[in-house]
Amino acid sequence: MSTVNMANKIVRLDEMCRLAHEYTTLGRTIVFTNGCFDILHAGHVAYLEKAKSFGDVLVLGLNSDASVRQIKGDLRPVICQEQRARVVAALSCVDHVVLFDAPDPEDLIRGIVPQVLVKGADWPEDKIIGAKFVKGCGGRVARVAFEEDISTSKIIERIGQRFYGGA
């Protein structure tokens, strides 16, 4: 049974920039996406598998705990950044995970310079952070439809109803 070497998958931005340059030199297509990935579920996995299908190397920008709180509020994340990073890094479709503190991934995108930027289809292209930059560098933006009507927020709500609301 093989194991995943997390040390090679969870990297800092400076290391990812170096790796991205190597991948590009080798002619490999770098795909970038980002998100909180708090309480990983089947919808996340399907999304990441689709994202990987656009290229050779999938880089996942993972919002840090501080960043998640800025976006989702003080009750989130449920799972700490180290554990979230380890879980998404264990997926075979994810090649690298980079944590970031900013509320958006603009600096990551500019450092990595992916050929493909992937976001959910619920994002209009003109609102996707980094889209203009990636397209200006000759890359493209891919919007992926969600397969399942599932979200971390809905899971949290369901847990609350079942265990604390009598539903």
Q: What is the pLDDT of residues 94-108, one digit of tens each?
A: 999 999 999 899 999
Return the C-alpha torsion angle 108, 111, 114, 117, nearest 10: 30
CATH superfamily of 6-164: HUPs (3.40.50.620)
User: What burial class does residue 123 get, using C-beta atoms within 10 Å of its C-beta: 0-12 exposed, 13-18 middle, 19+ buried?
Assistant: middle
Average pLDDT over residues 20-38: 97
Say whether pLDDT at 53 is over 60.
yes
Nearest to 54 by CA among 145, 142, 147, 148: 142
Confidence of residue 1 (pLDDT cuts 50, 70, 90): very low
DSSP 3-state of 143? strand
Q: What local confidence, expressed as pLDDT, does residue 6 receive?
A: 67
Nearest to 150 by CA among 67, 44, 28: 44
Confidence of residue 148 (pLDDT cuts 50, 70, 90): low
Tokens at 10, concatenated: 């969870």
Q: Residue 79 in contact with residue 64, Cβ under 8 Å?
A: no
Q: What local confidence, expressed as pLDDT, does residue 7 receive?
A: 67
Tokens at 56, concatenated: 């050779």
Report the predicted TM-score, pTM, of the whole model to 2 decimal places: 0.91
